[in-house]
A and B are shown apart, each in its own frame.
Chain A
Amino acid sequence: MQKLEYEKITIYEVESLHKELLEWSHNTQELELDMTNIQKVDFAGVQLLLSAHKSVKLNMHNVSNNVRKSFEFAGADSWLNGDTND
């Protein structure tokens, strides 16, 4: 399980997160992400996470309500897996 230290995933964080995701998804079929710290995700963030989901099976844990809403706005909530801890 990789715990994300970012507070949010927006256009400003996606470049560095992309590098990390590439590293973590190397040689693996499934990736667990702990999203406890993430308060907010924007369109660029949703898109990045969806790209990750295309490369490996992405399981997101402890997704905050706010982040969940963002996925909903983008019409991508069906990709949300894992628990939601409110």
Chain B
Amino acid sequence: MTEELQLFLEDSAEQLTYMENALLSMQESGINEEDVGALFRSMHTIKGTAGMFGFDDVVGFAHIAENLLSEVRSQKVELTPDMIQLFLLCKDHTEHLIDAAVDQTPIDDFTRETNQELLEQLLNFMPGNKSVIKNEDGTENIVRTVSEKKLWHLSIEPHSDFFNSGMDILNILNFLEVMGTITKKKSYTDPIPKLENYNPVEAYMGIELQIESESSHVEIEDVFEFILSDIALMIIDTQDKEGLVDWVESIPHKESKVKFLIENGFFTKGDFITVDPVNETISLEELKPIEETVLEEPQISNVEDPKISTKKEIQKSFSLRVDSSKIDQLINQISEMVIANAKIAQRADMIDDNDLSEATTVMSEMLESVRSSVMNIRMVQVGDTFAKFKRIVNDTAKKLGKDIEFTINGGETELDKMVVEKISDPIMHMLRNSIDHGIEMPHERVAAGKPANGKVTLSAYPDAGTIVIKIVDDGKGLDRDRILAKSIANGIVSPNHNLSDKEIFNLIFAAGLSTAEQVSDISGRGVGMDVVKRNIEELRGTVEIDSSKGAGSTFTIRLPLTLAIIDGFLVQSGDTKYIIPLEMIQECIELSAAYKKQMKGNDFINLRDSILPLLDIRDYFKESENKSSRENVVVLRYGDYRMGLQVDELYGEFQTVIKPLGEVFGNVTGVSGGTVLGSGEIALIFDIPKLMEYQIRNN
């Protein structure tokens, strides 16, 4: 895909998001001018940019939708809840049209039908009478019979390879006379070269005409149906000055065209004066200099408080779009600098030169500062992504006939952009699950003494170096016995297990398990939860579920704050150096002889009157014997779990870049990456959640 198409796709996606947000916002809090304006502008922008690429299906549909929005905006038509639902459907349909256009796949029958249906419904809301005309071949045309005629301006510019189409424009222009009265027509001959430079099989000439007609835009366009892809066609209501300016802005030879139009009496000079420059020209200007690369975030200055960004500010505030690979490269480069600096620092310590040591400290601090700033670029508020879940919950609940109150907390919590994007699907899946299998039907809830409307809450908050995302529902909870039975039947669990309730609940993440009575098309196909868990683990995160029969379920996802650099604690066991994520460390204690005696060969110690299970790294990784005389325990906390990691030497805090281990190490459980120390040695980074899992399972 070309860069321009990519940009178009992104821009359209953005516009569609604004549309949806405006619609949902009005659904909740009522009609208001600002949201209606945003709706209109989004549709208008999509129509304009699609027009630039010649995506005529998109243009055709968007134009009708935009017409209705224009009537709403000028308060000739009232925006009813039904219309809001209709526009939500239109937004989805526009998305499909855009995807098909960008992929260059023809519109399939279903989309064509939807197109007609939606157009019909849109036209139904328009002021004026409508009727349906049946054609000879059985197809139908929707005709808006309005008492007043419109003067349309048509600009027809064949593509240079037009003659390959085998069609003759003149026939079509002939037919056009049936649609109304042609008041003016002139061939646009400027592009035609003289004989010596003329290529007889290339099309140069355009045609500009104006026709007075009762027909709709769609009907006029239909006339050109068979050559639409071979020409650049623009049909504008001569009253639509904004549309005129937009069109003219978009053509490459605009000066000569404008001159032509004025000289031949199609328009006057006054018609081309830009209306509302802030809204119209900005969206097109942004697309023009495609070579410029820009930041993805809505604002980069730390003067503005990111929490207060309103929709208006997002559209007007200075923002840049940047290719995310450039940021990745920046992070990489800074990471390498951190490693290189570690080497310098180490050498400085050895030489024992105070000035040098001080200089390296300053350097380290500055590197840390730059690293922080760069990581910050990638941080986005989760609320932006979470907002789209509202729509999904809305639609899913409606579809199932359930009454659901959906709340989002902690939207301002920040997370790395890539993590947010990748966590989106798993969250959606879990939300659908809560709605589908968790929340009961309203009458069931009332019968159980609960309020008819179910509550689903999505929250995000930071906790000890991780970000926690919780999905809570007050539905009927998981059926422990059913899950157990199914697991035993599938051989996932042996009949004489001794799993706790919580462990049984978490079996839903095992592959091939689905206890839904009917596999609904929404969730519960048995390939869902295990994929969800895997996706989260790929982000070095964890997911668990807890449930209470009749009361509800809670999904808890934990994600690391960053993916690239780790604040760690360096330890040694046997010959190998390891790094423990600093956030998970509660304390370090020396494993004195007293403790050892207490253990009596078991693998736990009594720490201040509570039991701390221990994991001996030397055992786990089969290390060689202790090179130092000391033994230590690093006390870790991850979520609700605590564990002591038994190691030899402790070295201290150490910040470093995570380097992925090669595929050879892919199956080593307990290690999630490696890093290069200043000395050139490799240190392995513990995967603490996995180690904890192992510890729990084997004790």
Q: Could you list which residues of chain A lie within 8 angstroms of chain B, going by C-beta atoms? A: 10-11, 14-15, 17-18, 21-22, 25, 42-44, 46-48, 50-52, 54-55, 70, 73-76, 78
Contact = CB atoms under 8 A, between A and B. Distances in A.
Interface string B6-18: 0000000000000
A51 B194 contact: yes
A55 B192 contact: no
B430 interface: no
Contacts of A48: 198, 200
A51 B163 contact: no
B170 A43 contact: yes
B195 A22 contact: yes
Contacts of A10: 168
Contacts of B187: 46, 50, 74-76
B203 A74 contact: no
A53 to B, nearest CB: 9
A42 B203 CA distance: 12
B201 A42 contact: no
Given A11-B163, A44-B163, A18 B185 contact: no
A54 B194 contact: yes
B195 A52 contact: yes
Nearest to A19: B200
A71 to B, nearest CB: 9
10 contacts: A15-B200, A44-B200, A44-B201, A46-B170, A47-B203, A48-B198, A51-B193, A54-B193, A73-B174, A75-B209
Contacts of B174: 73
A36 B198 CA distance: 25
Interface string B533-549: 00000000000000000
A15 B193 contact: no
Q: Which of the listed residues A18, A25, A51, A76 has the most CB atoms from chain B within 10 Å of its own CB?
A: A51
A74 B192 CA distance: 14
Q: Is the interface of B mostly helix, strand, loop or mixed?
A: mixed
Contacts of B203: 43-44, 47
Contacts of B200: 14-15, 17-18, 44, 48
Nearest to B186: A75
Contacts of A52: 195
Contacts of A22: 195-196
B256 to A, nearest CB: 15
Given A51-B194, A75-B207, A76-B187, 4 more contacts: A11-B201, A48-B200, A50-B189, A75-B208
A18 B194 CA distance: 11
B170 A51 contact: no
B195 A51 contact: yes
Nearest to A10: B168
A14 B205 CA distance: 15
The 5 closest A-B pairs by CB, nearest first: A75-B185, A14-B200, A75-B187, A18-B200, A55-B194
Interface residues of B, number: 25
B195 A74 contact: no
Nearest to A48: B200
Contacts of A15: 200-201
Given A11-B201, A75-B187, A43 B194 contact: no
A46 B207 CA distance: 12
Contacts of B204: 47, 51
A17 B185 CA distance: 27
A76 B206 CA distance: 11
B671 interface: no
Contacts of A11: 163, 201
Contacts of B194: 51, 54-55
A50 B190 CA distance: 10
A16 B192 CA distance: 18
Contacts of A50: 187, 189, 192, 205
A14 B185 CA distance: 24
B169 A43 contact: yes
Q: Which of the listed residues A14, A47, A52 has the most CB atoms from chain B within 10 Å of its own CB?
A: A47
B198 A18 contact: yes
Contacts of B168: 10, 42-43
B195 A55 contact: yes
B192 A70 contact: no
Nearest to A70: B170
A47 B202 CA distance: 10
A55 B170 CA distance: 24
A18 to B, nearest CB: 4
B564 interface: no
B173 interface: yes
Interface in B155-187: 158, 163, 168-170, 173-174, 185-187
Contacts of A44: 163, 200-201, 203
A59 to B, nearest CB: 16
Given A14-B201, A74-B207, A75-B207, A21 B186 contact: no
A14 B199 CA distance: 9
Nearest to B176: A73
A42 B173 CA distance: 12
A73 B173 contact: yes
A74 B205 contact: yes
A32 to B, nearest CB: 16
Nearest to B173: A73
A83 to B, nearest CB: 22
A39 B158 CA distance: 24
A55 B192 CA distance: 11
Q: Which of the listed residues B163, B198, B200 has the most CB atoms from chain A within 10 Å of its own CB?
A: B200
Nearest to A14: B200
Contact of A47 (B173, B192, B208): B192
Contacts of A78: 186
Contacts of B207: 74-75
A50 B173 CA distance: 18
Nearest to A78: B186
A74 B173 contact: yes
A75 to B, nearest CB: 4
Contacts of A21: 195
A15 B194 CA distance: 14
Nearest to B203: A47
A55 B208 CA distance: 23
A18 B201 CA distance: 10
Q: Which of the listed residues A17, A70, A75 has the most CB atoms from chain B within 10 Å of its own CB?
A: A75
B226 to A, nearest CB: 14
Contacts of B173: 73-74
B201 A73 contact: no
A38 to B, nearest CB: 14
Nearest to A41: B170
A76 B185 CA distance: 8
A42 B189 CA distance: 16
A52 B195 CA distance: 6
A50 B174 CA distance: 20
